[in-house]
Structure 1
Amino acid sequence: MAVPLNIRSIAFRGISIPNVWLLGLLASNRKCTNTDAIDSFTSELVENKALKWKILNNKYRIPLSNRTSSGGAIPSAFNKSSSRKLTQIFEDLTSNPLVINIEALEESHIDNLLQTAIREDNARDVYILFDQLIDCKRLSSLNVLNMLFEYVTLTLDQHRLEQLINLCKLVDSEMFARCNEFLHFIALLQWRKGNLSNSVNSFKEALIKCNSETRPVIYRLLRAVIDETVGSKSEAVLLSVIEMGEFSMNKLNDEYLLCYIWESSFRSQWHSDQEVAKQLFNKHVRLREAVAGRISRLCFQLMQEFNIESIYQLMELFLKHQMLPSCRQVLIHLFEYQYWRRDLRACSEIIQNSIDLDIPLPNLYNLKLLDMLLGKSSRKNSVLPSSSADSAQKHKLEAKKYELKF
């Protein structure tokens, strides 16, 4: 360090230095050193936490430049000097593709490698691991295998999809049969390639053959297809999706897919999609019944988005088909929302609408409206004391007894 050299030089010349000044100088130097050490340690911790999964699996990594002719490997990345920066080590590790001998690995390790590579969208490592699976005739768990199937369909690689299906058939024929020969992934690949007719037929066949294990996977794939279609695809593509939903409801007695299509179209920003939702609602009685059973959840989602206009549109659909109990639920949800916002005018309009439509709301909402008119806070409960139950029954407020004017 520069300071101690200067001190020795001055002392050699016979100049006396106060001890207090010297101690202060040494203390300040020691404080700076401690601070630098803490900063360096913190930086290394942060860099270490930012390293990817490849460093965690370094014992299986074989850089291509260090492979021997016999297939062995000499790991070189971690033979560097210990003083080398972690970021430099990371760059060396990721400069070469990952080469792993998965033949000796357990299934959980294969799952970890594949799952992480897929989530990071690291196509190079995914396909290196894919080739290793084919060569070693190994399989991951079914959940990770489904992820790999989806990843292959995204790349539109039909050859790799066929390779993976044949591998499953060869290694685990029982699982292959239980998963209906992975027909749903063949249908998904056809869909993404634009073969709508073949894809619809394959999806229908997969829905017919599906069991409790494969049904959630098929539904997840079809939800992704519906999300990609509504609002962004042509009307012909949307009609193909609707065909699958109607087939599931009419032939398999399962209205889930059609309800999902209806809700996605109903909540779409495009007027054409909203018109499709209205047509479906008018066409299918079972769809109307299914939507009526989902009113609370749908209203809650729309209120979270402050999309009150869509709630009124839903109210119009129910009114058109004389579904008065469903209309009453919508009015109640609307009143609760406006009451929470302390909007007196909106609450009074809802009560007036219930009177005009002859859909009386429970007396509780008349009391809540009076609370707002009188400027009181919301009541803690709607049950009156038992001592006044008789008098309250005699003077029970009726919605049609008065008319509010503003």
Structure 2
Amino acid sequence: MNTARLQLTRYLLNYVRLINNIQRLKTSMPHQGFYSTFTMDAFTSELIERHKNKFHRHDVLLSELSVQHCTTTESKYNVTELTNVQMDNMFTDLLSKNKDKQVQDLILECQNYRKFITNESLKKLFRHYGNGGKPEMVVMLQTFIATIDPISYKRNGEFLHHLARAQCMKGNSEKGLSLLKSIYIKYTGYRSFYRLIFRDLIQDSVLNRSEASLMVFKKYVIEFSEELSEHYPLVCFWHICWASSWFSDQMLSNDLLEMSEVLQEIVRDKATAFSIMALKDFNEDAVVRLLQTLLKYDMMIEYAAVLQVLFNYKLKNRDIRGCTEIIRNCEVLGIVLPSNQQGRYITMLIEDKKRRPEEPSRKPSLKDFKLKF
């Protein structure tokens, strides 16, 4: 811009010199008549117009340069002067106030000025917009990293797992799980991480009671198991539905067992562990349903093991009625409980009888005992 100003100054000086030279020429030729005077005036006017046009063009040029200079240097957030701490605090403040437009402007400005954003802020941004179901913001973050740090972009699987999560959280389960399946195939080194994402998405879908999403998840956990030999999502889906208090979820867990022999074998191997986990959450109903499932598939060894776990739980809670029901059930099925459990049961009966006042004896009837674990 300084060069343009210098050229303009030179043109003005040349214009002044030209006018002075013409005036001196006219005074030195006083007897040339009308024609000569007219010719000189016309020549002077033409030169003046030419210089005016040049001056106008340079004035426009200077205006354009000034506008361009202001446009390229205008910075709403002045990101080049911000420290990493200031940048992190700014993102935290904007996210807490849900100001997505301001966050977008700040990221675009960082991209234009090639200003790096710390990993901590990037994680926070991806987590916020992934869990918030805002795929358009996740795509903007992907574009920023692909532009500023393409190596990190590729090394982190293009951050597509955040986009898959955002699509699912928005309600686009089909689109999100399809994307998750594609990156599971493409980026084999991140499969353990993708399994955890799948588990979290399953849990969110079941807890939010989205029937349409449940059908989509059912489809994809079966595909993962049958096509990719990845059974972890299937087991997670079955386990969450099995432990649910909703009847529809429980029926869905039964459907999964009928569809997958692999799942049946996994449940057989992990039946005791599943029972212990359920009882820690005081979910006796889930354990009773698991016992029914084991009976259905004739898994008697596993049935006996789970029954012992349940009997021990009843003993700890001094549930005499529940223990009595289990003893009767064992007699019917020919299952023998460990001697130490039987001894504890007898001891509990004796102690309970001592604490209670004597009651008139009556003959128990069969209708008093029902299988109500």
Name the TM tier (shorter chain): 0.5 to 0.7
Corresponding position of 1:201 = 178
C-alpha RMSD of the superposition? 3.4
Q: Distance in 2 between matches of 1:295 and 1:225?
A: 24
Counterpart secondary structure, 2:351: coil
Q: Does 1:190 align with 2:167?
A: yes
Q: Distance in 2 between matches of 1:221 and 1:145?
A: 18
Q: Distance in 2 between matches of 1:248 and 1:143?
A: 32
Q: What displacement does 1:144 show?
A: 5.0
Q: What displacement does 1:161 show?
A: 2.7
Q: Does 1:347 align with 2:323?
A: yes
Distance 1:374 1:159, change over 3 A: closer
Corresponding position of 1:281 = 257
Decide which structure has the larger Cα Rg and report it.
Answer: 2
Equivalent residues in 2 for 1:5-404 (5 A)? 101=79, 105-106=83-84, 114=91, 118=95, 120=96, 122-123=98-99, 126-127=103-104, 130-131=107-108, 133-140=110-117, 144-154=121-131, 157-213=134-190, 215-216=192-193, 218-230=194-206, 232-375=208-351
Q: Distance in 2 between matches of 1:348 and 1:298?
A: 23
Q: Is the 8 A contact 2:241 2:252 kept in 1?
A: yes
1:165 corresponds to which letter in structure 2?
Q
| 1:116-173 CA distance string (max 9 Å, x none) | 865x465467556544543443445556534422323455555433321122222322
2:306 corresponds to which letter in structure 1?
V
Q: Distance in 2 between matches of 1:102 and 1:189?
A: 31
Greater RCO structure (CA 8 Å; 6+ sep): 2
Q: Distance in 2 between matches of 1:139 and 1:357?
A: 69
| 1:282-307 CA distance string (max 9 Å, x none) | 22122123234443443334324432
Counterpart secondary structure, 1:375: helix
Q: Distance in 2 between matches of 1:287 and 1:198?
A: 26
| 1:38-74 CA distance string (max 9 Å, x none) | xxxxxxxxxxxxxxxxxxxxxxxxxxxxxxxx989xx
Q: Distance in 2 between matches of 1:319 and 1:144?
A: 53
Distance 1:117 1:336, change over 3 A: farther
- TM-score normalised according to structure 1 size: 0.59
Unpaired runs of 5+ residues, structure 1, are 1-69, 73-97, 377-404
Counterpart secondary structure, 2:334: coil
Counterpart secondary structure, 1:347: helix
2:284 corresponds to which letter in structure 1?
I
Distance 1:319 1:348, change over 3 A: same
Q: What displacement does 1:316 show?
A: 0.4
Q: Is the 8 A contact 2:243 2:286 kept in 1?
A: yes
Q: Is the 8 A contact 2:242 2:253 kept in 1?
A: yes
Distance 1:117 1:363, change over 3 A: farther
Counterpart secondary structure, 1:342: coil
Counterpart secondary structure, 2:262: helix
Unpaired runs of 5+ residues, structure 2, are 1-72, 353-367
- TM-score normalised according to structure 2 size: 0.63
1:365 corresponds to which letter in structure 2?
Q
Q: Distance in 2 between matches of 1:157 and 1:289?
A: 39
Distance 1:111 1:286, change over 3 A: farther
Distance 1:161 1:351, change over 3 A: same
Q: Is the 8 A contact 1:100 1:129 kept in 2?
A: no
Total equivalences in the alignment: 281
Q: Is the 8 A contact 1:153 1:189 kept in 2?
A: yes
Counterpart secondary structure, 1:359: coil
Q: Is the 8 A contact 2:184 2:191 kept in 1?
A: no
Task: Select between 307-316 and 361-370 the one with higher mean Cα deviation.
Answer: 361-370
Q: Distance in 2 between matches of 1:109 and 1:300?
A: 49
Corresponding position of 2:37 = none
Q: Distance in 2 between matches of 1:351 and 1:236?
A: 43
Q: What displacement does 1:364 show?
A: 2.1
Distance 1:167 1:320, change over 3 A: same
